[in-house]
Amino acid sequence: QQQVKQSPQSLIVQKGGISIINCAYENTAFDYFPWYQQFPGKGPALLIAIRPDVSEKKEGRFTISFNKSAKQFSLHIMDSQPGDSATYFCAASLLTGANNLFFGTGTRLTVIP
Amino acid sequence: DAGVIQSPRHEVTEMGQEVTLRCKPISGHNSLFWYRQTMMRGLELLIYFNNNVPIDDSGMPEDRFSAKMPNASFSTLKIQPSEPRDSAVYFCASRPTGEDTEAFFGQGTRLTVV
């Protein structure tokens, strides 16, 4: 069973536009929700993360919106740039105990100049 | 710290051969994960160690796959015998427990079984 569902599978955005990627999770015990960014030939790297006690977290052009009641969270990339072109993964885990990360299937973002 | 180190970066092998992938986690990280990445299935967790003990190996596809962590600084993922459908990029990641919860990934091993 897929613990974290992610959409869309791919996304094409014009430079300067807003990129939005959505995720939904199953386990209400999850208490840590990171987004990872992966460039070709590289391993995923942490981009931004949120805990369920807040509804939004912003770091520069990247914002996570979190809806605990709907068990959904999303990544918004404002003023998207060609350098943002990468694959983005949402994930969820517990902070204590079994802290393995459950990943979504990924979104390939292409920002057109 | 040099980060999570995986070797080899690329491996091409013939079907039926044994393949061993290696990982050196970041010093002090208690948790180690092996993931497999394919276009069709994304990032799949294969096995997860905590303090060198396997905690969850439910993602290991079949008995041909095995993983060990003999000490805190080294882990291996072995496939024996390998099959073409095992072709994928295999990632190792490590993560500390506690408040600093970022998981750090290695560069991955691209495995091709012909």
pLDDT single digits (tens) B1-25: 679 999 999 999 999 999 999 999 9
Check pLDDT > 80 for residue A1.
Answer: no
Q: What is the pLDDT of residues B76-106, one digit of tens each?
A: 999 999 999 999 999 999 988 766 578 899 9
Indicate which of A99, A105, A108 best probes the interface with B, i.e. most B CBs within 10 Å of its own CB: A99
B67/A contact by beta carbon, under 8 A: no
Tell if the CB–CB gap between A100 and B107 is shorter than 8 Å: no
- The nearest CA of chain B is from the CA of A89 a distance in Å of 9
Residue-level pLDDT at A78: 98
C-alpha B69/C-alpha B63 separation (Å) is 17
Check pLDDT > 80 for residue A2.
Answer: no
Size of interface A-B (CB pairs under 8 A): 61
Q: Mean pLDDT across the stretch A19-25?
A: 97
Indicate which of B23, B43, B50, B102 best probes the interface with A, i.e. most A CBs within 10 Å of its own CB: B43
3-state secondary structure of A82: helix
Residue-level pLDDT at A93: 87
Q: What is the DSSP string of B62-90?
A: STTEEEEEEETTEEEEEESS--GGG-EEE
Tell if the CB–CB gap between A49 and B102 is shorter than 8 Å: yes
Percent of chain B with pLDDT over 90: 78
Check pLDDT > 80 for residue B64.
Answer: yes
Number of helices followed by number of strands (H, E) in chain A = 0, 11
Q: Which residue of B has its CA nearest to A103?
A: B43
Check pLDDT > 90 for residue A111.
Answer: yes
What mean pLDDT value characterizes chain B? 93
